[in-house]
Amino acid sequence: DIQMTQSPSSLSASVGDRVTITCRASQSINSYLNWYQQKAGEAPKLLIFAASTLQSGVPSRFSGSRSGTDFNLTISSLQPEDFATYHCQQSHSPPWTFGQGTKVEIK
């Protein structure tokens, strides 16, 4: 199985900060990497697919990038509604594995 290692597990940041979350795959997954946002008590929501393509309706302050088996999710200027947990997920091959999640909290 492909292991997805996400870091950090949590972070504290202020509104307006630039935030970067990293996800590392245990083997090559090309760009089959998706990012989801989950607010407390809600279902996950797709943010980015194919490592860097923004899902329709997602604000442009969110971006994704890839370097080999390392993937980043960046929020350029954190907004109050962005405080949530972010999950990466590989869709290269089954089982479709997720990272352990990164909780973004208010500093």
Partner 1 sequence: EVQLVESGGGLVLPGGSLRLSCAASGFTFSSYWMHWVRQAPGKGLVWVSRSNSDGSSTRYADSVKGRFTISRDNAKSAPYLQMNSLRVEDTAVYYCVRFYGTRTYSYMDVWGKGTTVTVSS
> Which positions touch partner 1 (CB under 8 A)?
31-32, 34, 36, 38, 42-46, 49-50, 53, 55, 87, 89, 91, 94-101
Query: CB-wise, 14 or 56, nearer to partner 1?
Result: 56
Q: Based on CB atoms, which residue is closest to partner 1, 34 or 69?
A: 34
Nearest to 3 by CA among 24, 30, 22: 24
Structure tokens at 13: 């940041």
Measured from the CB atom, is 17 or 98 closer to partner 1? 98
Pick from 30, 62, 26: nearest CA to 45: 62
The nearest distance, CB 33 to partner 1, in angstroms, is 9
Query: How crowded is residue 100: how many other Cβ atoms within 10 Å of its Cβ?
Result: 13
Q: Is 84 helix (H, G, I), strand (E, B) or coil?
A: coil
Shortest approach of partner 1 to residue 70 CB, angstroms?
18
* Residues linked to residue 65 through DSSP beta bridges, in sequence order: 72
- Smallest separation (angstroms) from partner 1 to the CB of 31: 7
